């Protein structure tokens, strides 16, 4: 015998079953979504922390980043004039953030950035104002071009700095990175990266040796590796091996 209305009753049963459950639908935009701490929204830079090393520009696979740098002859160092982020090409891979030695690139939690034109997705940050009395009248502007996606391996930058300048910059970047995350930096020069904290602990009390190692890292990576291994051996002899192992 055919009973009418069973389908309706089944449907109502499901409805009532979920009627008193915890609500899962977010009433956006009235209700703001809960974002995870590591959510990648909009990329931004803290210009005052930037050391103008251009690592981020070279790291970005999509050519999202570009910067303009000037030279402050009085302070004898480069300074950031402007920094451009073209968000429309960013794929949120985080490579630039991970590789910035000064840790001045970050993602915030901003996700509502629909615009009427793509140009509005380009953000230009101005570099920090020069220290009073230290600015040279007209700093030389050098445009750091973003990396081309696949080609351009053999291309030379027209206004590339001299080898001495480059070495100095590399040294500075390495020093900053070493101070912030010694184990990560030293790990690149050791066969067993796990042992990097031992060497880091050893070098903490040996600033002169640390400086020498940084010099070698900037000038001759093979030599730096050999010296790093030798220093590690010394550190182990001093019994830092057990301390480093425990601390991990
Ligand atoms: S997150 Fe990736 S794609 Fe976006 S700017 Fe950084 S390196 Fe480029
Ligand atoms: S990697 Fe960091 S410090 Fe270097 S230019 Fe980019 S933002 Fe500045």
Helix (H) / strand (E) element for 143: namely: strand 142-144
| Residues framing ligand 1 (Cβ under 6 A) | 43, 59-60, 62, 64-65, 90-96
- Cβ 59 vs Cβ 99: under 8 Å: yes
The ligand 1 atom nearest the CA atom of 40:
1
Which of the given ranges, 13-17, 99-103, 159-163, has the highest pLDDT on average?
99-103
Q: What is the pLDDT of residue 84?
A: 97
- Cβ 122 vs Cβ 108: under 8 Å: no
* Cis preceding-peptide flag for 29 (omega within 30 of 0): yes
pLDDT digits (tens, 9 = 90+) for 158-181: 344 556 676 777 778 788 777 777
Per-domain residue ranges of the chain: 33-154, 161-248
The ligand 1 atom nearest the CA atom of 65:
5
Q: What share of the chain is helix, strand, coil (3-state, %, to 5)?
A: 45, 15, 45
CATH for 33-154 is: 3.30.70.3270
With b for 16 or more beta-carbon neighbours within 10 A and e for fewer, the 180-190 pattern comes to: eebbebbbebb
Q: Whose CA is nearest to atom 3 of ligand 1?
A: 90
Q: What is the pLDDT of residue 143?
A: 44
Average pLDDT over residues 49-66: 96
CA-based nearest residue to 97, from 89, 110, 106, 87: 106
């Amino acid at each position: 015998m055919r009973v009418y209305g069973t389908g309706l009753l089944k449907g109502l049963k499901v409805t009532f079953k979920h009627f008193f459950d915890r609500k899962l639908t977010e009433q956006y935009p009235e209700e703001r979504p809960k974002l995870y701490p590591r959510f990648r929204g909009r990329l931004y830079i803290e210009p005052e922390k930037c050391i103008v090393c251009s690592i981020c520009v070279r790291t970005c696979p999509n050519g999202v980043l570009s910067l303009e740098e000037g030279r402050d002859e009085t302070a004898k160092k480069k300074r950031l004039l402007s920094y451009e982020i073209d968000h429309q090409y960013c794929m949120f891979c985080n490579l630039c953030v991970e590789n910035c030695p000064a840790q001045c690139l970050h993602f915030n939690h901003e996700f509502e950035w629909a615009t009427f034109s793509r140009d509005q997705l380009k953000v230009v940050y101005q570099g920090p104002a020069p220290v009073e009395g230290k600015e040279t009248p007209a700093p030389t502007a050098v445009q750091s071009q973003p990396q081309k996606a696949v080609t351009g391996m053999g291309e030379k930058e027209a206004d590339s700095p001299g080898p001495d300048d480059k070495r100095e910059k590399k040294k500075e970047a390495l020093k900053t990175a070493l101070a912030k995350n010694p184990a990560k930096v030293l790990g690149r020069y050791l066969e067993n990266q796990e042992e990097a904290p031992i060497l880091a602990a050893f070098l903490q009390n040996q600033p002169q040796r640390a400086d020498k190692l940084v010099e070698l890292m900037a000038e001759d990576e093979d030599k730096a590796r050999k010296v790093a291994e030798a220093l590690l051996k010394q550190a182990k002899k001093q019994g830092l091996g057990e301390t480093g192992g425990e601390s991990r």
